[in-house]
Chain A
């Protein structure tokens, strides 16, 4: 089975812009979680989607949003980018959201 894929792998944006990141889960997985990883804060949970519904959300401002499509692919969007949004954004998929999570390679976002 193919693993979790994320596109694009690298992004450079300027402050105030918006960005959309994409995640394709392992075939058959219906849960997709998103995480932000920074050197200072480590890995922090953003949100989780299951069957197109957001079931859980972390402590991030409303500028961070996401959605999931009927084929379980997920996107996350960050609007009005700030310098502090520079990070590695990781998505993970699992069958149910309560079992083993498998991570993609991440999208490295740099905000200038």
Chain B
């Protein structure tokens, strides 16, 4: 059974800092891993998806990496801005026919970027 853990649970940084959010998973039979952000009371916005065959993906100021052997993924945010304040969630999709559409989520990291 896949379990996903995110550390830290909350993070507060000043504007302009580079930061790293961590995600670990217990089952290396992972097909892909997605990072999302969620604003209060809203749905999830997809940020990046990394396939199991990839090591990293980049979009603007965001860079996500995936290391299956160690069961870890990181989300790197460069030059953070107050608008980046949100809850960040990672979610894994396992390989195998019984995993269709089933993302296993971590509990999230609440990020606050203060001016």
Determine if A110 is an interface residue (Cβ-Cβ < 8 Å): no
B74 interface residue, CB < 8 Å from A?
no
- B42 interface residue per 8 A CB criterion: yes
Q: How many residues of A contact B (CB 8 A)?
A: 29
Taking CB atoms, residues of chain A closer than 8 Å to B103 are 33, 35, 43, 45, 92, 101
Could you give, for residues 75-115 of chain B, a 1 whenever the CB lies within 8 Å of some chain A CB and a 0 otherwise?
A: 00000000000000101010000111111111110000000
Given contacts A42-B107, A42-B108, contact A101 B101 (CB under 8 A): yes
Contact B43 A103 (CB under 8 A): yes
Bound together, the chains give a CA A102 to CA B108 distance in angstroms of: 18
Chain B residues with CB under 8 Å of A48's CB are 100-102
- Asked if A103 and B101 make an inter-chain contact with CB atoms under 8 angstroms apart, the answer reads no
In the complex, the answer to whether B89 meets A94 with C-beta atoms within 8 Å is no
Contact B100 A50 (CB under 8 A): yes
- Once bound together, how far apart are the Cα atoms of A44 and B49, in whole Å? 19
Q: Indicate if A70 sits at the interface (CB-CB under 8 A).
A: no
Which residues on the A side are within 8 Å of B91 (C-beta)?
43
Secondary structure call for the B interface: strand
Distance in angstroms from B93 CB to nearest chain A CB is: 7
The answer to whether A106 touches B93 (Cβ under 8 A) is: no
Q: Write the nearest CB–CB distance from A112 to chain B, whole angstroms.
A: 19
- Per the bound structure, the CA–CA distance linking A56 and B100 in Å amounts to 6
* Contact status B102-A56, CB under 8 Å: yes
> CB within 8 Å of B: which of A9-52?
31-33, 35, 42-45, 48-50
A58 at the binding interface (Cβ < 8 Å)? yes
A55 at the interface (CB under 8 A from B): yes
Binding site for B on A (CB under 8 A): 4, 31-33, 35, 42-45, 48-50, 55-56, 58, 90, 92, 94, 97-106, 108
Known contacts A31-B100, A56-B102; 7 further A-B pairs (Cβ under 8 A): A35-B103, A43-B89, A45-B102, A48-B102, A98-B100, A99-B32, A100-B46
